[in-house]
Amino acid sequence: MRPQPDETLIRRYLLGDLPESEANSLEQQYFTDGEVFEQAWAVENDLVDEYVAGRLASDDRGRFERHYLASPRHRERVANARALRAAALGAGQPPARTSRQSSRSWAIPGPGWAVAAVVLLAVVAGWLSRSRPSDTRQAAGRPAETATMAPGVDPVAPALPPPESPSASRARPTVTLTFALSPILVRGSSPSPELRISPGTEEILLQLEGDGSEAPVGRGRQLTATVRTVEGKPIWKGEARVASAASHPNRLATVRLPAARLPPGDYILALSVADAPRREADLRKYYFRVVR
């Protein structure tokens, strides 16, 4: 039985960089050996994913664009891969790569980032003022980066401590983790934050960022938060507390929900306001991922 081909060889084949005789030999292999075929298919998907993530070396990237993307079908495949990546990751670089992103950062412009940067500064300032152990992994420009800590490190960095104000590291009746979420202004233009919920967490406090002037005023105008999976399955619905525009101009509301309601997965939180009996109008949506 012939050994499986080296993946480098398959990559060169897919990038049009293999001499014809070697290409023919590889084709003979994957036609007669199903394992080799699966391997070649996987290498293709990896190449596409690496391109979409901006991780192809420049030589390979050039070949990929000249050869692979010459096919309209392949261009469709790349576009689909980008959409799938966005769905799986929330359109952003995963938190673990954020701190290494400095020289290869794909700067993501847009108002969401300006809001997120202000929020992050406020969060860090509040956190430092509470004399918590410093955590410098909150990379600037990442919304809700409070959620993305090293394993075992408490992800809480609250700017607004909950009334009972426990940190997750101290034993208290209710263990609350706080996360700041920025709204997704255009789907795919901002990353969805990852909420890393540590064991023992009982409650999640979500600080929903946005233009504070959008918060409803007036009697009877309640804010409601509805959490659904990205597939639309309802998970939780409850009251959202309007933030004080004076003290939190960049925050719309806060929401408390039981941590147990959020198994690992992707969620959408819709903030809505009741503007008439039994009628709600959507204000903002927030995408987030729960990781445990």
Partner 1 sequence: MPSKRSFERLSAGALARLLDRLGPDHERAAAAYEALQRTLVKFFDWRGARSPEECADETLDRLARKLDEGKPVDDVKSFALGIARLVLLEHWRRPEARMVPAEEANLEDLAAPEPPEDLPRHVCLERCLKELPREARDLVLQYYVSEGRSKIDNRRRLAVTQGLTDNALRSRVQRVRDRLERCIAKCLDTKSR
Binding site for partner 1 (CB under 8 A): 13-14, 27-28, 30-32, 34-35, 37-38, 40-42, 44-45, 49, 53-54, 65-67, 69-80, 82-89, 91, 93-94, 96-97, 106-109, 186-189, 230-232, 265-266, 289
Q: Roughly how many angstroms between the first and final C-alpha of the chain, as a whole number? A: 43
Could you tell me the smallest distance in angstroms from the CB atom of residue 57 to partner 1?
A: 15
Residue 126 or residue 265: which is nearer to partner 1 going by CB? 265
Residue closer to partner 1, measured from CB, 65 or 214: 65
Query: How does DSSP classify residue 1?
Result: -
For the bound state, the minimum distance from the C-beta of residue 69 to partner 1, rounded and expressed in Å, comes to 5
Q: How far is the CB of 88 from partner 1 (least distance, A)?
A: 4
Residue 32 backbone dihedrals phi, psi, to 5 degrees: -100, -15
Closer to partner 1 at the Cβ: 184 or 225? 184
CA distance 55 to 113: 23
- β-pairing, 194-196 vs 279-291, is parallel
Q: Which is nearer to partner 1, 86 or 242 (CB)?
A: 86
CB of 79 to partner 1, least distance (A): 6
Q: Using CA atoms, how far apart are residues 12 and 140, in angstroms rounded to an integer?
A: 38
In angstroms, give the least distance from the CB of 185 to partner 1: 10
**Least distance CB 289 / partner 1 (angstroms):** 8
- b/e for 221-246, b at 16 or more Cβ within 10 A? eebbbbbbeeeeeebbeeebebbebe
The total of other beta-carbon atoms located within 10 Å of residue 103's CB is: 5
Place of tokens 């729960």: 290
Q: With respect to partner 1, which residue has the nearer C-beta, 11 or 251?
A: 11
Burial of 133 (0-12, 13-18, 19+ CB in 10 A): exposed
Nearer to partner 1 (CB atom), residue 97 or residue 172: 97
Burial of residue 147 (CB within 10 Å: 0-12, 13-18, 19+) is buried
